[in-house]
Amino acid sequence: MARPFKCRRVAVLPGVTYFKPAGIPMRFLEEVILTVEETEAIRIKDIENLDQAQCGKRMNISRPTFQRILYSARRKMADALLNGKAIRIAGGNFETIAIKSSCQECNSKAENIL
């Protein structure tokens, strides 16, 4: 029997979930679907510039699993960019994390669920 699938931790849900080439009607476009955890992998590796071990810890997965997710995301993005396909961000197996913060001025505490 296969090992149960672990939920990946995601800190930031994407605000924009659809991209398409300009000037081409939707009915003529193929679509590539990126999962939410694939976009999180791209965000923390390429934007936050963390190494893969740190990224794996952040997402609560192993480094090899992170590598596979990142490779899949980059392959899908390259396909969409080079072949003129739309990109939709949807689905996946993830959980959002709560971020605890406090105000420096009034010392009040808040918990934001992302």
Where exactly are the structural domains of the chain?
8-113
**pTM to 2 decimal places:** 0.80
pLDDT for the residue 106: 65
How far apart CA 6 and CA 113 sit, in angstroms, is 20
At residue 6 the predicted structure's pLDDT band, cuts being 50, 70 and 90, is confident
User: Exposed, middle or buried, 27 (CB in 10 Å: 0-12/13-18/19+)?
Assistant: exposed
Give the integer Cα–Cα distance in Å for 114 and 52. 22
User: Burial code of 63-77, b = ≥16 C-beta within 10 A, e = fewer?
Assistant: eebbbebbeebeebb
pLDDT band at 63 (very low <50, low <70, confident <90, very high): very high
Task: Give the model's pLDDT for residue 71.
Answer: 98
Paired tokens of 21: 């080439």
Say whether pLDDT at 95 is over 70. Answer: yes
pLDDT of 104 strictly over 90 = no
Distance between CA 102 and CA 111 in Å, rounded? Answer: 9
DSSP 43: I
**pLDDT tens-digit map of 12-37:** 999 999 999 999 999 999 999 999 99
